[in-house]
């Protein structure tokens, strides 16, 4: 089934606790590899598989594995798993902060046996000491090209692909036309695929007292553990409040919207590509730096909610909803043009694979 000339293996977990951001950007890169004729396989545990199967964009070969067995016996487990499925991948792409240094070390040793490069997707130069030392290739799709982390000091032998050129957005964003700002309407509230801190509810509590006339649409995923309560809350709000459950046309929704209130994860890059002004809520440390860059560029307001939500600040920032001129100014500072990052990265990695193969043939 998987005897293709080139195969790329992905591992990126998703859960209510860690969210879906790692999985979603791997989906974007996987789509680009398939577009370039490459076979893609996802290694998924039971929880990730359940979430992935609810996503319209997840249409890939997958292998379910025992997370505990991998953790305890990664060195043997991966080698046996790959050989039993007749897979000899060119690249193994790992995305997630929760994988231990021991796990990464064992995975690397297993991949050496298969002559497979380990690719690690990163945001901040490694969350912990030693996170990146085993990487052959590091991808940072979230930093600014002129301000990458100092990867030379943490992984001196790794190849690095970083910056705006490699933003990992799904194919729908590359295909979605930009809509003139004057033709847009409404507010969208989206807190990612799981909303682990239940910020959707808190934002709605602030919005419902603002006597809004614009339509407000809440995006709800099957990964929300508080989904039923949130729907019940929305049903009790005025008629201009509504929700979309497991929407499969996110690029179109963002492109048609005046302002999006969003979690400050990878969604901010989707919003920039659609030239949609935003209010970004920072929940975790890894989101802080990139969100500050968005604020400095002038297209987003940023709230630091890592400790708790400040309702006074929330209401103050939400006043932007009434300031059409400010939103138009924010829109004009967004230049788009970053929706093809997954395609750029896939082609760069395939070129690297081809060059490495040529070098081996010359030896």
What are the φ/ψ torsions at residue 138 (nearest 5 degrees)? Answer: -115, 135
The span from the CA of 361 to the CA of 338, in Å, is: 36
pLDDT of res. 70: 66
pLDDT of res. 235: 97
pLDDT of res. 2: 40
pLDDT of res. 71: 63
How does strand 39-44 pair with strand 159-162? Answer: unpaired
How does strand 39-44 pair with strand 61-64? Answer: parallel
**Mind listing the domains of the chain with CATH numbers?**
7-171+340-362 (3.40.50.2000), 177-332 (3.40.50.2000)
The answer to whether residues 25 and 168 touch, using CB atoms and an 8 Å cutoff, is yes
pLDDT of res. 130: 84
Buried b (16+ CB within 10 A) or exposed e, 252-278: bbbbbbbbbbbbbbbbbbbbbbbbbbb
Nearest to 33 by CA among 105, 126, 123, 139: 139
The answer to whether residues 240 and 212 touch, using CB atoms and an 8 Å cutoff, is yes
The answer to whether residues 320 and 327 touch, using CB atoms and an 8 Å cutoff, is yes
Tens digit of pLDDT at every position of the chain (363 positions): 343 458 999 999 998 888 899 999 999 999 999 999 999 999 999 899 989 988 888 999 999 887 666 666 666 777 788 888 888 899 999 999 888 888 899 889 889 988 999 999 998 887 777 889 999 999 999 998 888 999 999 999 999 999 999 999 999 999 999 999 999 999 999 999 889 889 999 999 999 989 999 999 999 998 888 999 999 999 999 999 999 999 989 999 999 999 999 999 999 999 999 999 999 999 888 788 889 989 999 999 999 998 888 888 898 999 999 999 999 999 999 986 679 999 999 999 999 999 888 876 665
The span from the CA of 159 to the CA of 162, in Å, is: 10
Strands (E) across 97-228 are located at 117-121, 137-140, 159-162, 187-190, 216-220
Sign of CA dihedral 349, 2, 80, 17: positive
């Amino acid at each position: 089934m998987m005897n293709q000339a080139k195969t790329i293996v992905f591992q990126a977990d998703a859960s209510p606790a860690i969210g879906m951001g790692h999985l979603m950007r791997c989906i974007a890169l996987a789509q680009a590899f398939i577009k370039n004729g490459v076979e893609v396989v996802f290694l998924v545990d039971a929880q990730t598989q359940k979430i992935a199967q609810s996503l319209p964009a997840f249409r890939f070969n997958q292998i379910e594995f025992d997370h505990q067995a991998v953790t305890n016996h990664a060195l043997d487990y991966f080698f046996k798993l790959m050989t039993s499925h007749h897979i000899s991948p060119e690249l193994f792409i790992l995305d997630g902060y929760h994988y231990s240094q021991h796990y990464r070390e064992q995975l690397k040793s297993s991949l050496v046996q298969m002559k497979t490069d380990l690719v690690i997707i990163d945001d901040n130069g490694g969350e912990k000491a030693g996170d990146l030392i085993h990487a052959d290739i590091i991808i940072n799709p979230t930093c600014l090209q002129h301000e990458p982390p100092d990867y030379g000091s943490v992984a001196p032998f790794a190849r690095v692909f970083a910056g705006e050129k490699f933003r990992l957005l799904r194919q729908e964003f590359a295909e979605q036309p930009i809509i003139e700002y004057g033709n847009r309407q409404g507010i969208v509230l989206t807190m990612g695929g799981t909303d682990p801190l239940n910020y959707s509810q808190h934002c709605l509590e602030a919005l419902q007292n603002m006597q809004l006339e614009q339509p407000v649409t809440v995006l709800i995923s099957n990964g929300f553990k508080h989904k039923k309560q949130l729907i019940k809350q929305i049903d009790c709000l005025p008629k201009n409040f509504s929700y979309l459950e497991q929407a499969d046309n996110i690029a179109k929704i963002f492109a048609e919207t005046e302002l999006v209130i969003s979690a400050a994860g990878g969604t901010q890059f989707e919003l920039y590509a659609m030239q949609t002004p935003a209010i970004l809520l920072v929940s975790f440390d890894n989101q802080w730096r990139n969100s500050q860059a968005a604020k400095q560029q002038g297209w987003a307001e940023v709230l630091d909610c890592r400790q708790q939500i400040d309702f006074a600040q929330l209401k103050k920032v939400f006043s932007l909803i009434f300031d059409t001129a400010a939103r138009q100014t924010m829109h004009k500072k967004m230049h788009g043009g970053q929706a093809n990052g997954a395609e750029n990265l896939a082609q760069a990695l395939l070129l690297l694979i081809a060059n490495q193969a040529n070098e081996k043939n010359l030896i």
